[in-house]
């Protein structure tokens, strides 16, 4: 079983829909990152969370440390949001290591 | 600010050859790391560094070597390339491992034949 699980693996939405991508982890962490990877490979950092909720534009990320779960929400989705969204956790303690989920492939159709 | 510069973007190697993937950042970040990305798998940590002169192994270090002689540079060396090392490689940096933003290089597509 992977230490970081994302769901769904693939998601197709219509433009304007509200989208939720989930990330569950089974290890102790000190922080969690959400990343976006566009076709062609470039990876962009969206959020880093250690508690609570963060919002940037149409993107909202939440984390529940007790339940070991995080969600990424996209409001009013747009075709330009089509990408792979990746959850990565920073292992707790002094390990200095990140473990990544396998990503969620999002396609937003006009 | 160039961010994280990673070279080369594409490379084809023959089995047994060695090569170095270059990674440089100009943001004075302490934490730098190398990952490989394979189909159906998440990015996996190869090696990382928390500062000049300090490196450590990640999840999949075998067949790779790193050094960190300066804060700016973190090259990844393939010692004797094998077809199993065919992958996309990403270098990343951040202020600390828990830094708010991780900056990634554009990736290096490596094929070992």
3-state SS, one letter per residue, for chain A: CCCEEEECCEEEEECCCCEEEEEEECCCEEEEEEEEECCCCCEEEEEEECCEEEEECCEEEEEECCCCEEEEEECCCCHHHCEEEEEEEEECCCCCCEEECCCEEEEEEC
Indicate yes or no: CB of A86 within 8 angstroms of CB of B41. Answer: no
Question: Least CA distance to A94: which residue of chain B?
Answer: B97
Q: Is A103 left (phi over 0), alpha (psi -120 to 50) or beta?
A: left
Please compute the mean of the pLDDT values over residues A20-40 and round it to a whole number. Answer: 94
DSSP state of B15: T
Asked if pLDDT for residue A104 goes beyond 60, the answer is: yes
Chain B nearest CA to A77, separation (Å) = 23
Report how far residue A33's alpha carbon sits from residue A23's, in angstroms, rounded to the nearest whole number: 10
For residue A17, the distance in angstroms to the closest alpha carbon of chain B comes to 27
pLDDT score recorded for residue A96? 75
**Please, which pLDDT band fits residue A1 given cuts at 50, 70 and 90?**
low
Give me A100's structure tokens. Answer: 């990544």
CA of A46: which chain B residue's CA is closest?
B101
| B90/A102 Cβ within 8 A | no
pLDDT tens digits, B32-60? 999 999 988 889 999 999 999 999 999 99
Residue A20: band (very low, low, confident or very high) from pLDDT cuts 50, 70, 90: very high
Token pair belonging to A32: 């969690």
Q: How far apart are CA A102 and CA A86, in angstroms?
A: 7
Rounded Cα distance, A33 and A45, in Å: 7
CA-to-CA distance for A87 and A49, rounded, in angstroms?
11
Judge whether residue A46 has pLDDT over 80: yes
pLDDT at A97: 87
Q: Does B40 touch chain A (CB under 8 A)?
A: yes
Report d(CA B30, CA B35) in Å as an integer. 17
Is residue A96 within 8 angstroms of chain B, CB to CB? Answer: yes
- A23 — contact with chain B (CB < 8 Å)? no
Two tokens, residue A30:
């000190």
| pLDDT beneath 70, residues of chain B | 1-2
């Amino acid at each position: 079983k992977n230490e970081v699980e994302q769901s769904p693996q693939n998601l197709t939405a219509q433009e304007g829909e509200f989208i939720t991508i989930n990330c569950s982890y089974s290890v102790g962490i000190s922080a969690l990152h959400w990343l976006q990877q566009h076709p062609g490979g470039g990876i962009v950092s969206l959020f880093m969370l250690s508690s609570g909720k963060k919002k940037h534009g149409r993107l909202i990320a939440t984390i529940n440390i007790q339940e070991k779960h995080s969600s990424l929400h996209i409001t009013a989705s747009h075709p330009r949001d089509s990408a792979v969204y990746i959850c990565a956790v920073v292992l707790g303690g002094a390990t200095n290591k990140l473990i990544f989920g396998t990503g969620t492939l999002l396609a937003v159709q006009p | 600010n160039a961010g994280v510069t990673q070279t080369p973007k594409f490379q084809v190697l023959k089995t047994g050859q060695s090569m170095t993937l270059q990674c440089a950042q100009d943001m004075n970040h302490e934490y730098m790391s190398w990952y490989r990305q394979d189909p159906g798998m998440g990015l996996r940590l190869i090696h990382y560094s928390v500062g000049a002169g300090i490196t450590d192994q990640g999840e999949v270090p075998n067949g790779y070597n790193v050094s960190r002689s300066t804060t700016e540079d973190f090259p990844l060396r393939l010692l004797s390339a094998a077809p199993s090392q065919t992958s996309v490689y990403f270098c990343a940096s951040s202020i600390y491992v828990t830094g708010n933003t991780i900056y990634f290089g554009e990736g290096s597509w490596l094929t070992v034949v």
